Structure 1
Amino acid sequence: MNKAGRLALVKSVLSAVLIHQLLAFAPPKKTLKQLEKIQHGFLWAGRADAHGGHCHVNWRRVCHPLEYGGLGVRDLERTGLAFRL
């Protein structure tokens, strides 16, 4: 699968499942970081782990909206915080 297809899966399936869970409870930050790492690895390398040369763009940049040069992937920590306000 190409990167565009993986991006679509990360945005539609992986993020949606995780966001649904964020509505129910507030997981620890460590858990959120591990989940983002899985998303990150799948997006860049097509598997659950990616290191060094596989990462083309900083993950924070990927989480920016399309209008600001990002890829529109939701930042799980910030999204969870917004749900709990």
Structure 2
Amino acid sequence: MYVLIVIKVPKCFIKAVDKVRRSFIWKVRKEVNGGSCLMAWERVHQALEYDGLGVLNLEYMCWALQIRWLWFKKTDSNRPWKGLDIPVHKNSIAFFNIAFATHWSWG
């Protein structure tokens, strides 16, 4: 999971991993077709409280980890990896900027 912070994961990689996860969940096989899936993949990502299976969405998880990285970079100068240049997705930057602006306007 933490590798998702340091590399800019291409969508094709996430699709390939999701294909394996989907196959394992529905048939415990290497491949599965759409007729074997018992619910939409988007619903599988939903939390258990919302009738999903709670399987993490890797793309969103990548964004969340990158937002956490941006937070540490901004707030804690003692971290040894602070100077590393990590590629961050534009959505992560946008969410961080919104959250950071909101956080400081409250306080």
Q: TM-score, normalised by structure 1?
A: 0.72
Question: Segments of 4+ in structure 1 off by > 4 A?
Answer: none
2:5: which partner in 1? 23
More helix by share: 1
Following TM superposition, by how much is the alpha carbon of 1:40 offset from its aligned partner in structure 2, in angstroms?
0.3
Correspondence list, 1:59-78, <5 A: 59-78=41-60
- Identical pairs, percent: 36
Greater Rg by CA: 2
**Counterpart selection for 2:35 from 50, 53, 75:** 53
List gaps (5 residues or longer) in structure 2.
68-107
Q: In the alignment, which of 23, 26, 30 is matched to residue 41 of structure 1?
A: 23
Name the SS of the counterpart of 1:38 in structure 2: helix
Q: TM-score, normalised by structure 2?
A: 0.58
Structure 2 counterpart SS, 1:48: coil
1:84 corresponds to 2:66? yes
Q: 1:27-48: per-residue Cα shift (whole Å, max 9, x none)? A: 1011101101110011101112
CA distance in 1: counterparts of 2:45 and 2:53, whole angstroms: 6
- How many residue pairs were aligned? 67
Kindly state the Cα deviation for residue 56 of structure 1 after the two structures are TM-superposed.
0.6
Gaps of 5+ in 1: 1-18
CA RMSD of aligned residues (A): 1.2
One-letter code aligned to 1:51: N
Which structure would you say has the larger RCO, counting Cα contacts within 8 Å and 6 or more residues apart?
Answer: 1
